[in-house]
Structure 1
Amino acid sequence: MHNSDTSGHAVRWTELVDQLEGRLDTLAQAFTTRVREIPEYGESQVTVLEIQETARETFRRLISGLRNGRIDSRDGLLDFASDLGSKRARAGIPPESLTSAVRLDFSILWAELLEIAHTEDAALLATRVDQVWSVVDEFATRTHTSYLTERVRMAQEESSIQREFIARLFNQSSPSLETSAQVASALGINPESRFALVAASGEPGARLRAATSQFGSGQHTRQRLFLHESGGNTYVFWALPAARTRGPEPRGEAHSPEADSQQLPPGVVNVPCGYVPEVLGLRALPGAARTAESLAALLRPRDTGPLSADSAWARLAQQNLQDAGLDLAAELEEALADCRGGERERLLETVRNYLSTGNITVTSEQLFCHRNTILNRLNRFQELTGIDLAVPAKTARLVVAWA
């Protein structure tokens, strides 16, 4: 009895599958109507005719799988699924939309089976639901896998093209307007935007590359990061907001490094690197890269974040003077060589404190000394070194010497 029922089910299943095959146009039309309700499909480059033809071919191959009880490689269903996944990736269909579309295959097939089946086929359909799902699921899995593979390939290709254009920009000391426009088009940015740029080498450079990989997609930060590598250095730049987040600085007020740090993307803010906080247009980036590289060379072990010219101008001046054979720190040490006992340390402590406050009274309070004591020490320092702390040009020598 059991064998007879099984045999009868097999014959009836074949009849139902044959009827499904005769309804390919109906299946394809149902799929087309429903998939066009998915917004991304309705607005995509995939035409209605292509959707309908693809659906008809998909159902033809799925039905063949239902007839055989499994997907047969000779039917080409998996190859077809791979090709479909690649096509939808190139058409720009989002992954969630593709998943929604592929899931329709099962519901439409099953609904059509219920339409053509009789009441007495209920037991048969109950035994075949897993088979229908298995065939459709294998097709869906292959389609999705191919889709993701193609998306990765497309991203790599786009990244390669972008790197090529970025290299073209940085390899010119003064890029032309045409080059700037081409690079902007490849990167999808405005060539006249304001940009920020950082540079580093070695381990900090590796951290910049990691930040670009992690935060460059725009999912974690508003800034989209662009990477360039050359001569052992890593450069990362990004577009700044069109409108400043702060008002114009009062005349004579120094630019705030803290304001610059607010514009740094995640993953960059804690990387020791040379930093140019504002670059006007793509054409100025190569020059900014050289500046950032020079600033990176001034980094010291205690630095834990980006170093801009505003915070490192004294170091930069010191380095340039040393390159010219002028060592202000050595000259200062020589001038204080005649100090005895703890006089040198007291003078240096007083002068450093005064430079940081600019106020005799505050300095005396912080050092717990009488105001006249502070004045006497400053006069003694001037006597030994010739540096009058009331003259800014003279004071600048100390700032540079102690950078």
Structure 2
Amino acid sequence: MHNVESPAQQARWSRLVDQLEERLDELAQAFTTKVRDIPEYGESQVTVQEIRDTARETFRRLIRGLKGTHPDSRDGLLEFASDLGAKRAQAGIPPESLTTAVRLDFSILWAELLEIATPEDAILLASRVDKVWGVVDEFATRTHTSYLTERVRMAQEESSIQREFVARLFNQSTPSVETSAQVASALGINADSRFALVAASGEPGARLRTAISRFTSNTTARQKLFLHESGGNTYAFWALPATRTRSADSEDQLPPPLADLPCGYVPEVLGLRALPAAARTAESLAALLRPRDTRPLSADSAWPRLARQALQDSGMDLAAEIEEALAECRGGERERLLETVRHYLSTGNITVTSEQLFCHRNTILNRLNRFEELTGIDLAVPAKSARLIVAWA
């Protein structure tokens, strides 16, 4: 069974809506007062006058929508909502604040209707509440959709501009002061800050891109990570906190998405101008990664690999020389010597080594002496023990 309003009810509703339209200034003032209590609006660049003027136009169009007599009332309302959503996105109003503000429209309109209505209008208002809510909700939905669309467009535009400036930085072996200042301004960072940088290629490079994308899309993330791709390599860098303390383990300073990612890692870069050189270092470190590596590789932890690679590139193979020197070992002597030397290199302590291998201290000393006799490497001499570390990197 459907309720059909009488001509008298329709006429009364039209009169109530007309009275609402006569109170546009009061409606706009009520909205302005309430919306200024929302912190982000109170602190935004949107002026009180603009809020009041926009509120007045909003209510005028909503009331026209309630009348439903104007042929383009709905289209005009939705077009205005789209424009409003885009403007609020450009003004930097947070989405939660926008939603709170738009929700005020219904409560203010309904409160004003109750103010001008009489007790005899109760049934009429009850039959019209869905109409009022529907018009306001459609307006709010279009405003929010337009807001989100504009936010996405702005983010894409900002990201594109940032990528251009980052590329300009990395395309110079030694960027000028002017270039670094321009890049810093575009990225919203200090050109003289300290930075960290990672590099990866292939499958780790794809993982790095995914990790950065997820991290940057997290609106709660406070740290900015910047991405650059060139020559099959993916690079990411970020500014270090001014209060950052030096840590013996530089991996403690990595952003969460990078802590378990195999990549080349330069933990400290002094200023934007030094980033291209740091990128080349990180690229070299990434080339030294092995299948068993599951974390970033820095020069502190990979220096033996770097040294070994440099020596091999020069035609020197220290590992082969040591293997040749141990060739005269018989039985299990070679294995015992290598085990003892590796343990000693990791501790630098005879007593600890003997405890780890469950051998007498003199046994350890005898093995180390035998190793020196065969290879000529005295492990008590740092320069010679370093040679062994490089050989076994």
Contact 1:195–1:280 (Cα < 8 Å) also in 2: yes
> AA paired with 1:228?
H
Identity percentage of aligned residues: 81
Label 1:65 to 1:393 Cα distance change in 2 as closer, same or farther (>3 A): same
Aligned to 1:339: 329
> AA paired with 1:56?
R
1:397 to 383, 387, 390: 387
Label 1:208 to 1:75 Cα distance change in 2 as closer, same or farther (>3 A): closer
Q: How far, CA to CA, are the matches of 2:47 and 2:360 in structure 1? A: 87
Contact 1:70–1:135 (Cα < 8 Å) also in 2: no
Aligned to 1:124: 124
Where 2:101 maps in the other structure, the secondary structure is helix
2:282 to 283, 287, 292: 292
1:281 to 259, 271, 284: 271
Label 1:11 to 1:293 Cα distance change in 2 as closer, same or farther (>3 A): same
Q: How far, CA to CA, are the matches of 2:95 and 2:3 in structure 1? A: 45
Aligned-CA RMSD value: 2.1
Structure 2, unpaired ranges of 5+: none
Equivalenced residue count is 392
The 5 A counterparts of 1:172-211 are: 172-211=172-211
TM-score, normalization by structure 1? 0.91
What CA deviation, in whole Å up to 9, does each residue of 1:29-67 have, x standing for no partner?
Answer: 332333233332233222233222222221222112111
Contact 1:36–1:42 (Cα < 8 Å) also in 2: yes
**1:225 correspondence with 2:225:** yes
Label 1:74 to 1:375 Cα distance change in 2 as closer, same or farther (>3 A): closer
Where 1:172 maps in the other structure, the secondary structure is coil
Contact 1:172–1:286 (Cα < 8 Å) also in 2: yes
Label 1:71 to 1:115 Cα distance change in 2 as closer, same or farther (>3 A): farther
**1:148 correspondence with 2:154:** no
**1:271 correspondence with 2:261:** yes
What CA deviation, in whole Å up to 9, does each residue of 1:261-285 have, x standing for no partner?
Answer: 1101111000011111111111111
**1:60 correspondence with 2:60:** yes
1:193 positional shift: 1.1
1:294 positional shift: 0.4
Label 1:383 to 1:110 Cα distance change in 2 as closer, same or farther (>3 A): same
Aligned to 2:341: 351
**Greater Cα offset, 180-189 or 49-58:** 49-58
Contact 2:61–2:73 (Cα < 8 Å) also in 1: no
1:149 positional shift: 0.8
Aligned to 2:295: 305
Contact 1:69–1:131 (Cα < 8 Å) also in 2: no
Structure 1, unpaired ranges of 5+: 247-254
> AA paired with 2:300?
D
Label 1:4 to 1:196 Cα distance change in 2 as closer, same or farther (>3 A): closer
Aligned to 1:251: none
Contact 1:64–1:75 (Cα < 8 Å) also in 2: no
The 5 A counterparts of 1:1-400 are: 6-68=6-68, 75-216=75-216, 219=219, 221-246=221-246, 256=248, 258=249, 260-400=250-390
**Greater Cα offset, 198-207 or 39-48:** 39-48
Aligned to 1:249: none
Q: How far, CA to CA, are the matches of 2:133 and 2:74 in structure 1? A: 20
Q: How far, CA to CA, are the matches of 1:3 and 1:174 in structure 2? A: 79
Q: How far, CA to CA, are the matches of 1:213 and 1:20 in structure 2? A: 49
Contact 1:61–1:77 (Cα < 8 Å) also in 2: yes
1:365 positional shift: 2.8
> AA paired with 2:273?
R
Label 1:362 to 1:101 Cα distance change in 2 as closer, same or farther (>3 A): closer
1:343 positional shift: 1.5
